Each structure stands twice: as structure tokens, then as C-alpha cells.
Amino acid sequence: MAKEHSFDITAKVDVQLFKNAINLVDREVANRYDFKGTTYEVNYKEKDKALVLVASSDNKLDALKDIVIEKLLKQGLSSKVLDELRVEDASGGTRKATYRVVDYIESKEAKKITADIKKMKLKVNAQIEGDSIRVKAKNIDDLQKVMKMVREGEWEAPLKFENMR
């Protein structure tokens, strides 16, 4: 009897890597010449799953966001982890940007991923289980084809693969 193999498609964010990236941002900005003497703030609210950036101007805010994305990528996280909610004026003539930390796959997108997997006409079974998608097959090569298709697709969530068995 053949053994069944499986893996999960998730969008979970490694919180420790995220915090490391934010700490690296703080250190770099403190040493950058273009931020000397200006007001800036990088605040990660873990309970709210939000990142708040405050800078003295729109240009500084854009530079701060670029630094955050650079550090996230260096930590092995996707830039899709951040979803911009709003940019607004803050106190003292500063600008404030609020980002939501995306660590789940929306149901609409999960349904599209499972539909795309079924369109491949492979002998695989894809099911949505909570905030992940479990893909099962008897042939491990079919699972690898599914992984390749998902990696090449353009998705909103920062997808990653876990629990390969």
C-alpha cells in the first residue's frame, strides 16, 4: 500500500525574524546621515499585528519603508508581509504610516489557490483547513509540481510551505 505524502501552504510570519528585522531597522536609521536630526519612529505592535512608521516628511517615510522591506528580505521574509492601511499626518508636522502584518491567507485567495491546484489535473487533494491549505498526494513528484505552480503564481499573501511529509 502506497504511503500518502502531504504539505501545508500557509502565510504564517516568524515573529522572531520580524522583530529582528525591526531592530535592525532601528540600528541602521540611527546611524544614517540622512536621518540625523530628524524625527522618526518604528513601532511594532505585536498584539494588534501592526507596524507604525513615523517620519518628518513623505520622503523620509518612503526611505524608512524601503529600509524596513530591505531588512525583512534579509531575514528571509517576504515584502508581502506588510499591507499598507493608511498614511496620515501626525503630531508635530510628521507623517505616519500604518501597516498590517499579514500572517494568514484570505478565504477568497485560498479558494483560488485550491481551484488552480485542481486545474492542474494531477492526482492531488487540496483542502482548506483553517488558515492553511493541506495538499495530499501519493506521488511526491505531484506535490513538487504543485509547489512549483504556487511559487510561480502572483498571490497577495506571503505564502510558504510547511510540514512536508
pLDDT for 2: 54
DSSP E strands, 30-114: 40-45, 50-55, 82-89, 95-101
Report how far apart the first and last C-alpha atoms of the chain are (Å, whole number).
16
Q: What are phi and psi of 54, to 5 degrees?
A: -125, 135
Q: What is the pLDDT along the chain (165 residues), one digit of tens a residue?
A: 357 877 877 878 888 888 888 888 888 888 888 878 788 888 888 888 888 888 888 888 888 888 889 988 888 888 888 888 877 777 777 888 888 888 877 778 888 888 877 877 778 777 788 777 888 888 778 778 878 887 777 777 777 777 767
| CATH H superfamily, domain 15-101 | YajQ-like, domain 2 (3.30.70.990)
DSSP for 11-37, please give it.
----HHHHHHHHHHHHHHHHH-GGGTT
CATH topology for 5-12+104-162? Alpha-Beta Plaits (3.30.70)
The two domains 5-12+104-162 and 15-101 share their CATH topology (first three levels equal): yes
Cα-based distances in Å from 102 to 12, 25, 57, 93 = 8, 19, 26, 29
Q: Domain coordinates of the chain in residue numbers?
A: 5-12+104-162, 15-101
